[in-house]
Amino acid sequence: MADAQCDTQPTVMTPKAGVERAAPGWQSGPPPVLTKKSFWSAGHRPTLFAALLYFDLAFMVWVLLGPLAPQIAQDLGLSPAEKGLMVALPTLAGAILRLFVGLAVDRFGPKMTGSIAQVVVIVGLLAAWQVGIDSFAGTLALGLLLGVAGASFAVALPLASRWYPPEHQGKALGIAGMGNSGTVFAALFAPTIAVLFGWNAVLGLATIPLALAFAAYLLMARDAPDRPRRRPLSAYLEPLKTRDAWLFMLFYGVTFGGFSGLAASLSIYFTDRFSLSAVTAGYCTAACVFAGSLVRPLGGALADRYGGIRTLSIVYAVAATALVTVSRDPATIAAALGLFVVAMLAFGIGNGAVFQLVPQRFREEIGAMTGLVGMAGGIGGFYLASSLGFARQATGSYQSGFLIFAALALAALAALTCVKRRWRTRWELAAEGVRI
């Protein structure tokens, strides 16, 4: 079985970025003494910042339809199910595109791939602003375009990851992945701008920060020198022959799916459940999203220190508890907001913890694995956002949507419990000193 072969074959480690040779004689004689650099000395800080900035602004526009949904739905007369599908489609499109973008990253490098993706999004938003969106079909077409921005995940994380050694993967990918905070900007500013100028104008105005971020990206980002050699396209799907790849897809489908699904849906939830204005609902959503975004680096750091498995186990238990409680329809907005903040904190920490583990297991296939795992995360977000809309239309309540996703979190916890012993005993042979 391919998975068994992968788990049992010994791995020969070679010096990576961030490890200095402290003695000559690498080729012969006694093993060299290796001196590990600190995190800030180990990688390439301009590239890390460029990855964060690109990811941040791309995520801002990726979830743009969520904060604008109350105004769009009112103008176009959308049903609850149509609202749910509208805000979920960019998540699904981004999920699918992450797979192809991940393949492009491994073949052409993250900097070139990210440059092309940014141009597509900027030009597409300008065209949508000029033409105008005046139908439900138009919002779906826009959602497909915004999916390209969501695929930025498969660029930003490999761009940062390849500069850092195993012991700093959690922190590096946590910082780059903090680009999730772009959803905060969308929730804070998009509804207010829509009230002042109309929601179509938001599409055009969004291109201004995107263009500035693109210029910074071109100046600062550099591909790491240890870029993997090009392989046949079929080789990029090799990880799917292992159980571990599918498990990572499940784990991230829950953590990032929960984060992105709630980020896209909470503006609708707050306006429907508590009759808040679009602007006030945006502020409440921004508070939840900010909490989940802020702790992603903390999740990576906790996983570096205590192990990704232990961190994820706590994450799934906390997230499931929060979602089950919120499904009981809290009577006050303060109670609902508190529960969503707890859920988002758990999902944010989980996002960082998953990507502390992925590079330890699939270092050479990090581009393809980022695409595959990111795709699963997007699918999880699509499911949560769309199911909440359908649950609201079918039953008059969001309860079943929250409960099913809580069950998925518990399923991920059970799967993690089953494999933790195997992962810890086998991976430590390949990543000595790195907590699993």
- List, in sequence order, every residue forming a beta bridge with 36; answer none if it has no partner: 19
Has residue 9 been placed in a domain?
A: no
| Contacts (Cβ under 8 Å, ≥6 apart) of 149 | 58, 59, 61, 62, 90, 94, 117, 121
pTM assigned to the model: 0.73
Which residue from 427, 410, 157, 185 is spatially nearest to 286, judged by alpha carbons?
185
Tokens 């518990």 belong to which residue?
Answer: 410
* Angle subtended by helix axes 45-62 and 169-177, to nearest 10: 40
Give the pLDDT score at 274: 93
Has residue 5 been placed in a domain?
A: no
Parent domain of 135: 42-223+232-430
Higher pLDDT, 221 or 428: 221
Give the pLDDT score at 23: 38
Indicate which CATH number applies to the domain containing 364.
1.20.1250.20
Tens of pLDDT along 54-72? 988 998 999 899 889 989 9
Question: Would you place residue 427 in the very low, low, confident or very high pLDDT band (cuts 50, 70, 90)?
Answer: low
Alpha carbons 253 and 312: distance in angstroms, whole number:
13
Q: How far apart are the first and last CA of the chain?
A: 23
Q: Which segment of 12-26, 148-162, 182-196, 242-256 scores lowest on mean pLDDT?
A: 12-26
Has residue 177 been placed in a domain?
A: yes
Tokens 């680009």 belong to which residue?
Answer: 179
Cβ neighbours, 10 Å, residue 35: 10
Strand, coil or helix: what is 16?
coil
Has residue 26 been placed in a domain?
A: no
Sign of the CA dihedral 286, 140, 156, 220? negative
Has residue 353 been placed in a domain?
A: yes
Has residue 303 been placed in a domain?
A: yes
Alpha carbons 56 and 41: distance in angstroms, whole number:
24
Has residue 3 been placed in a domain?
A: no
Upper half-sphere CA count for residue 77 (Cβ side, 13 Å): 0
- List, in sequence order, every residue forming a beta bridge with 19; answer none if it has no partner: 36
Q: Which DSSP state fits 396?
A: S
Give the pLDDT score at 269: 93
Question: Would you place residue 407 in the very low, low, confident or very high pLDDT band (cuts 50, 70, 90)?
Answer: very high
Q: What is the DSSP string of 288-339?
A: HHHHHHHTHHHHHHHHHHH-HHHHHHHHHHHHHHHHHHHTT--SSHHHHHHH
For the record, the structure tokens of 284 come out as 């409440």
Alpha carbons 215 and 226: distance in angstroms, whole number:
25
User: Which of left, alpha, beta for 133 (phi over 0: left; psi -120 to 50: alpha)?
Assistant: beta
Q: Which DSSP state fits 10?
A: -
Exposure pattern of 227-264 as b/e (b: 16+ CB <10 Å)?
Answer: ebeeeeeeebebbeebbbbbbbbbbbbbbbbbbbbbbb
281-301 average pLDDT score: 87
Q: State the total domains in the chain.
A: 1
For the record, the structure tokens of 306 come out as 């205590």
366-384 average pLDDT score: 82
Tens of pLDDT along 301-331? 888 888 889 999 999 999 999 999 999 989 8
CA distances from 396 to 18, 261, 388, 389, 390 (A): 55, 19, 10, 10, 9
Has residue 203 been placed in a domain?
A: yes
Contact 287, 102 (CB under 8 A): no
